[in-house]
A = this chain, B = another copy of it.
Amino acid sequence: MTVALKKPPRSARKPKGDGHMRRGEILAAAEKIFIAEGYAGATIRKIADAVGVSSTALYMHFRDKDQILLEIGKEAIEKLLSINVALSQEPIDAVEKVRRMLDAYMRFAFENPNTYQLVFCGSNEAISVEKQQAVSDLGDRCFDEFSGPIREIAAAGRLKTGTAESAAQVLWAACHGIVSLVITKPSRSWAPAEELMQVTLDGVMHGLIADR
């Protein structure tokens, strides 16, 4: 037993055979199942089977189930974040930036419903707060990129109501509201998604931001 304290000197040692690929394989399989069957449907055993490996093996590469799925969420949000970053650097009006970011946000949600739910619908208390940290941070950074232009707008005195903080949260939330409802209640009869996005954007932008 001793104590086995020795990590620092270990530096070399190439990754073995396909060992370094497993993590990726697992993520790929998990993502496929998760997208098709949602959080509850993506069980450890199913993922392991898909990879062709025992369920225990997943614990070699991930601490637990949540970490696997949150990793998937992380990658998806990184795409969203990069969109937001790109938009925020574009030389366009702040209002236009906000509009495009919200539009991208909603389209992202409709295109990745399960991932969206996992990350933004809290996954319903199923996942502890600390575990979500990494993903939460990314979400925060997305929101930061978004609230930048909002602060510009507020500074220009063009907010009809609320502070930069609350206005940003409300704008974001309005978009979250429509996509999360449509995603989680697909059985209700909704107006066409395109129209809902349009009305949400128009309504909320005109409601909170002065025209000129």
Interface residues of A (CB under 8 A from B): 38-41, 117, 120-126, 129, 136, 140, 160-163, 165-167, 169-178, 180-181, 183-185, 187-188, 190-191, 195-196, 198-200, 202-208
Contact = CB atoms under 8 A, between A and B. Distances in A.
Nearest to A161: B202
A202 B207 contact: yes
A38 to B, nearest CB: 5
Query: Main secondary structure on chain A at its contact with chain B?
Result: helix
A162 B39 CA distance: 34
Nearest to A37: B125
Contacts of A38: 124-125
A92 B190 CA distance: 28
A84 to B, nearest CB: 17
Contacts of A169: 178, 181, 190-191, 196
Given A173-B181, A202-B207, 16 more contacts: A117-B125, A121-B124, A125-B184, A136-B185, A161-B203, A162-B198, A162-B202, A169-B190, A169-B196, A173-B180, A174-B177, A174-B203, A180-B180, A199-B208, A203-B207, A204-B207
B199 A121 contact: no
A191 B150 CA distance: 15
A208 B205 CA distance: 10
Contact of A200 (B173, B195, B198, B199): B173
A40 B160 contact: no
A16 to B, nearest CB: 38
Nearest to A187: B129
A200 B122 contact: no
Nearest to A185: B122
A140 B185 CA distance: 11
A147 B19 CA distance: 58
Most B C-beta atoms less than 10 A away, residue of A161, A163, A172, A175: A161
Contacts of A174: 170, 173-174, 177-178, 200, 203-204
A57 B202 CA distance: 53
A178 B173 contact: yes
